[in-house]
Amino acid sequence: MYARKQRSEQWMMEKANKLKEDVRTRLQTCNDLVERMHLVDAIQRLGIDHLFKKDLCSILRIINGSEFPSSNLHDVATRFRLLREHGFWVSSDAFNKFRGSDGRWSKDLYEHVELSYVRDRPVGNYVWSYLLFHEEGLALTRMITVKIIGLIIILDDTYDSHATIEECRKLNEAIQRWDESAIHLLPDYLKKFYCKILNIFKEFEDQVAVNEKYRVSYAKKEFQNLSTYYLEEAEWSHQDYKPSFKEQVELSTMSSTVPLLTVSAMLGSGETVTNEAFQWAAHQPSGVIACARIMRFMNDIAAFKV
């Protein structure tokens, strides 16, 4: 029994030593500076950096003394954090390129559409997305969800508090057409927003696998449906119509955005989600409706004084 245990421990030690050498070889042979930096970060996060102290220090000195090839915010922030953690002085001026001329952080979606009345919540959108999809393999799902939430906020603010009823009708008509030629229907201040909608969904098609592009059509349809629901609510307000409780619940459940978010969250989920799953979600099954109703009631309880 003792001999077997001793052999087992020896095998584990040999396996561990082999893995350490594999990691060390990877650190030494990787020629991409950004990739090496992320390897250092991963080793630290795994809590095994004490096994490669000399290698990591050598790589960090190289990173500190070299021109950094990436302009990606995540890469720049990772470099800044790692070097500061290990005692290297790094100027915070490295982040200046991510600020606008007014010193504020760039917000591509909100700045591009130039709608001053829109709620400015890019960080809040990301937090919602991250809380829902925090797993490492769901980065694309998080990105898609953040952008969808951003579009929803702009669409909601436009229908709810800014556009005239005629502008609401024209915006919905353009969204139902889903074509750049429909831009002539819109007032000037909504044209960039409409183009941004089309471009973002085109980005989604480019980011998913070839055999998954059909999924984006489901998200488009739900976005078109949401626009129709928002228009109906705007029509009620314009006409001073007082819906019954049943009518209010039915419409506000559908305008809760849950049907759209359900489909959108599935876009970047890889092969684990089938076409049948999208068909199921698109027909508003009882589970989706129940979630939408709960979300609507919770939102209304928080937003209105009883």
**One CATH from 1.10.443.10, 3.30.420.40, 1.20.58.1000, 1.50.10.130 for 2-98:** 1.50.10.130
Please tell me which residue, 126 or 273, carries the higher pLDDT value: 273
CATH domain 108-303 topology: Farnesyl Diphosphate Synthase (1.10.600)
Residue 191 has pLDDT above 60, yes or no: yes
Residue 106 has pLDDT above 60, yes or no: no
Q: Classify each residue of 18-36 as buried b or exposed e, where b means 16 or more C-beta atoms within 10 Å of its C-beta.
A: eeeeebeeebeeeeebbeb
pLDDT tens, residue by residue, 16-59: 889 999 999 998 899 899 999 999 999 988 888 888 999 999 99
The owner of tokens 């898609």 is 144
**Residue 234 token pair:** 């705007």
Quick one: which H or E segment has residue 252?
helix 245-254
CA distance readout (Å), 242 to 40, 228, 233, 236: 61, 19, 11, 7
Please tell me which residue, 127 or 185, carries the higher pLDDT value: 185
**Residue 190 token pair:** 């909504």
Query: Residue 76 CA to chain centroid, in angstroms?
Result: 19
**For residue 109, what pLDDT is reported?**
47
- Distance, in Å, from the CA atom of 69 to the CA atom of 172, rounded to the nearest integer, reads 44
* Prediction pTM value: 0.64
Kindly state the DSSP code that residue 106 receives in the 8-state scheme.
P
pLDDT tens, residue by residue, 139-172: 788 888 888 988 998 898 889 888 899 999 999 9
- Domain spans in the chain, listed from the N-terminal domain onward: 2-98, 108-303
Whether 108-303 and 2-98 are alike in CATH topology: the answer is no
